[in-house]
Structure 1
């Protein structure tokens, strides 16, 4: 039996694809956390902003404009956070597929290694049997 695993090259290629998918998943998760943090920060700023206690019209208009801008930014950042979450889910599926492909080849490699070990043990046993047979034949002739 061939001692080298014949699909070793394919296993390396699949492993590299899995590593790339894992790196892309990590990036997507980082981006998702950052987008969620930006949305929370904007939401906090919007919640903390209030209307002025002074009854001046310009201050009131500025406060309203600021709150409208923050609310608009919050809507945009929440949409970005949802998109980042969807990207993370997509990248998770890609990584899972890549991992499944690698694992399938790894199982084949494990079977191949088991078969090589069995074949080596069988060959060793044949040698031991032959040596024992020669020794027994040699002792039989010496006894006669």
Structure 2
């Protein structure tokens, strides 16, 4: 009967850590994409705006809107920079978690190979003993 991998619990923990890190990386990528889309939306809205001032009130309103849009773009750029840093940190964490998991996965593979080889050796020993017993039995019967 094959033994279980002695480090199976640790391997499962490492895989859970890797899954968590993968989830955090995916979430960070989603936030980054949402920020890019919001920034692109603001740029598109600014490009589509062709307001012509007809009086001082309209000119002040256009200036205020542009100023507000500039502030929003600055905020979105800062948010994009922060999200890019989060994505990179999540990528590093995922790579680290993956590296810790891979080593144990390789050990588990070698352990499984060793167990399979031991099972085959045991089976071959049993077959050899059965064959030897049968041969001795035939030899005894032939002498009688």
* TM class, shorter-length: over 0.9
Give me the CA root mean square deviation.
Answer: 1.5
Identify the residue that residue 89 of structure 1 maps to in structure 2: 88
Moved over 6 A (4+): none
Q: Contact 1:32–1:88 (CA<8 Å) still a contact in 2?
A: yes
Secondary structure of 2:58's match?
A: helix
Distance 2:76 2:48 in 1: 18
Identify the residue that residue 141 of structure 1 maps to in structure 2: 140
Q: Contact 2:53–2:62 (CA<8 Å) still a contact in 1?
A: no
Secondary structure of 1:84's match?
A: helix
Q: Contact 2:17–2:97 (CA<8 Å) still a contact in 1?
A: yes
Distance 1:41 1:97 in 2: 35
Structure 2: runs of 5 or more not aligned: none
Secondary structure of 1:106's match?
A: helix
Distance 2:63 2:123 in 1: 87
Distance 1:42 1:62 in 2: 17
Identify the residue that residue 100 of structure 1 maps to in structure 2: 99
Q: Which has the higher contact order (CA 8 A, sep 6+)?
A: 2
Q: Contact 2:39–2:76 (CA<8 Å) still a contact in 1?
A: yes
CA deviation after TM superposition for structure 1 residue 69, in Å: 1.0
1:33-59 superposed Cα distances (whole Å, 9 cap, x missing partner)? 1111111111112222234242x1110
Distance 2:70 2:112 in 1: 62
Structure 1: runs of 5 or more not aligned: none
Q: 1:55-70 to 2 correspondence within 5 Å?
A: 56-70=55-69
Identify the residue that residue 108 of structure 2 maps to in structure 1: 109
Compute the TM-score of the two structures, normalised by the length of structure 2: 0.93
Distance 1:74 1:49 in 2: 15
Identify the residue that residue 8 of structure 2 maps to in structure 1: 8
Counterpart check, 1:29 vs 2:25: no
Distance 2:38 2:80 in 1: 9
